[in-house]
Structure 1
Amino acid sequence: MLREAKYVNAIYKSGSFSKAAAALFISQPSLSATIRRLENELGTTLFNRSTNPISLTDAGRQYLLYAEKFMALENEAQNYFESLKNSDQGHLNFGATSFYCCYSLPIHLNPFRSKYPNISINLNENTSSEEMIKTLRLGQIDFALSSNPVGFEEFKKLFFLKEQLILAVPGAWEVNDSLIDYQLSFKDVLNGRQRSQTCPKVSLERFKNLPFLSLREGNDLYTRSKELFDHVGSVPTVYMYLDQIPTTYHLVTYGYGFTIIRDTTLHIVPSPPKQNKNQVVFYKIDDDLALRNIYFYYQNSLTITPAQDAFIRYTRYNCGTEEAFS
């Protein structure tokens, strides 16, 4: 059944028998005959052949759900028995958004690579939680890194870090004049002052009706920002929608608008020029939602490969627990 499952999945993904056959390195007549035989055995039709591209019938969609489970089990079994050949060797696939793939993951994984040089690593940049969840279910990735827990409830989680969301505001704006005692400098944020319990907080209400730079819908920070504004009964005046946090920050430096960023963003963007240290000012947001946990999610499986086990132990040792935060 695994072969047929892979065939059905390939046709569904490519939208045609010819493209699927090419991807599977078999002839189209052979693929068509296999699917016809499968449909006869099941007593139902799996594909709507009259549509363009070819689409699944209701029975086909149900079959694909079962097929994905079979393929996930096959991947899990292959990974496990491959890892038994040598406990110091293996392979790990990680899924995360571009931001984490570019910045957070490489820093965390570098010492791990030094400690386990024979464990190879691959990073998969995923654009959405839905994509990560699907690849995690299929066993195509070992760990998914996400700040959004929605949809990941079926998986085990491994604490990575806590992240503080802060406001980044053009320094020349008049609104800052009445908030001097609340302001954080670039250096303050790098030193972690925003994470102190004594750091003063500012309500988002102080910035209503000012131009806001937002990430696009589908990004966790888009949803989190909307909820933060909802908590103060306000709707942001969105000036521009963007795809990456560093981009929104750079536009703040030019005065396009204010935005909400991860405090860790300042570790990967240029420092402000000495002659204009207050080009951007920062504020701690007065809302518990501004503090969030980042987790690695992984399959709730009885079979953990040595490589996966090594990474779990390494992360627990180096990242501590979610309670360890001042």
Structure 2
Amino acid sequence: MNMKQALYFKTIAKYGTITAAAKQLYISQPSLSQTLRQIEDEAGTPLFDRSTSPFHLTYAGERYLRAVEAMLEIETQLKEEIESIRRDDGGRLRLGISITRAMQVLPDVIPIFTKAYPNVTIELTEAASASLEGLLQKGQIDLALAALEANEANIAYELIEKESIGILAGRDSQLAQLVPSGTPISLETVEKEMFVSLDSSHSSRIIQDRLFRRYNIRPKILLETSALEVARRVALKGGACMVLPDVYADDFVFKSGGAFYPLKDYENHRHFYACYRNDENTKKYIRDFVSITASVLAHSTHGKRISQK
């Protein structure tokens, strides 16, 4: 059964006669009769009781009509979906973002985006920033929101938020007990502190290793973890330090008795970017997702809290 046969069958069932159905379909009665014979031959059983006027469906015909209606409904939905994709207001957005940044921005971004694009499905990949650029280049995601250095020629980078790098210190660390929070420090100040370290999939770890090499220091590592939130909490409770972007030095840090110190001798080049492949086929809804994210972060307060401590 093809879609033309399905439409013809449904029309005959609706109007009850070949004559009325042919008139609605703008085809000849003989042509429609021939199509019906083909359908019934393929089914191997009568689908209409022709002894009545108008025709009535047999039981097999009732089951056949149910399948016909399902097929036609699927075809209609598919056409609408394809048309929506063609207009750029429907489709799929494969988004890559770190878990911590997802917690920070998605609760505010998603409701705004889905209201504007109800026909776009979001498929979320949660991974550390250092991994997302590779997923983007392999075509496994469409958009990455990640802390990166803008280096790849085939990727478009839109700056969402600048990040500064500092040292998070737990309340019981020697640094927090001796130096007021917010004071710019050099890395030598914390050479003898214990550190909590993120694993190599994180951009913060890349910066940390770069800093340790630059100052030729090898602090004791209390814990290495893949989860930024675990690292923060262990550092705060364990009286340790960690290299951390300022955007994660939030109210939780200070309510836990922690402190945050900007690094005075380091200029950070890894910032929070929206990244997508640099071609002409970037969907409008991807660009709009980026704009919404930038607007949400611009109006948030997390970036202002450090200076108030």
Counterpart of 1:100? Answer: 101
Structure 2 contact 171–177 (Cα < 8 Å) conserved: no
Number of the residue aligned with 1:145: 145
Separation of aligned partners in 2, 1:111 and 1:172: 42
The share of aligned pairs that are identical, in percent, is: 21
**2:187 counterpart of 1:204:** yes
1:304 maps to which residue?
Answer: 282
Shift in CA distance, 250/129, structure 1 to aligned 2, threshold 3 Å: closer
Residue 116 to residue 201, structure 1, CA distance change in 2 (3 Å): same
Letter in 2 for 1:295: Y
Equivalence map 1:42-53=2 (5 Å): none
State how many pairs are aligned. 220
Counterpart of 1:259 in structure 2 is: 242
After superposition, give the CA deviation of every residue in 1:76-130 in whole Å (9 maximum; x if it has no partner): xxxxx76544443232111122222333344334322333333222211134634
SS in structure 2 of the partner of residue 254 of structure 1? helix
Task: Note if contact 2:195-2:220 (Cα within 8 Å) is conserved in structure 1.
Answer: yes
What does residue 13 of structure 1 align with?
A: none
Instruction: Give the alignment partner of residue 219 of structure 2, picking from 226, 236, 243.
Output: 236
Q: Determine whether 1:225 maps to 2:218.
A: no
Selected match of 2:263 from 285, 302, 318: 285
Gaps in structure 2 of 5+ consecutive residues: 1-81, 299-303
1:141-220 maps to which residues of 2 (within 5 A)?
A: 141-149=141-149, 152-180=152-180, 183-184=181-182, 200-220=183-203
Higher relative contact order (CA 8 A, sep 6+): 1
Question: Secondary structure, in 3 states, of the residue corresponding to 1:201?
Answer: coil
- AA matched with 2:156: K
Q: CA RMSD in A?
A: 3.2
1:288 counterpart SS class: coil
Q: Secondary structure at the match of 1:121?
A: strand
Cα offsets for 1:135-186 (capped at 9, x unmatched)? 3234332111221237644211112111233212122334445423xx23xx
CA distance in 2, matches of 1:314, 1:175: 39
Larger Rg: 2
In the TM superposition, what whole-angstrom CA distance separates every residue of 1:213-248 from its partner, at most 9, and x where no partner exists? 111223221110122233333223222211122112
Q: Partner of 2:61 in structure 1?
A: none
How does the TM-score come out when normalised to structure 1? 0.57
Cα offsets for 1:262-293 (capped at 9, x unmatched): 333244847626xxxxx322211113334742
Equivalent residue, structure 2, for 1:48: none
- From the superposition, tell whether residues 113 and 165 of structure 1 become closer, same or farther in structure 2 (CA, over 3 Å): farther
Any gaps of 5 or more consecutive residues in structure 1? 1-80, 185-199, 274-278
CA spacing shift, 1:287–1:245, aligned 2, 3 Å: farther
C-alpha spacing 1:311/1:209, structure 2 compared with 1 (3 Å): same
Q: Counterpart of 1:100 in 2: which secondary structure?
A: helix
Q: 1:121 to 1:286 in 2, by over 3 A?
A: same
- 2:115 maps to 114
- Which residue is equivalent to 2:230? 247
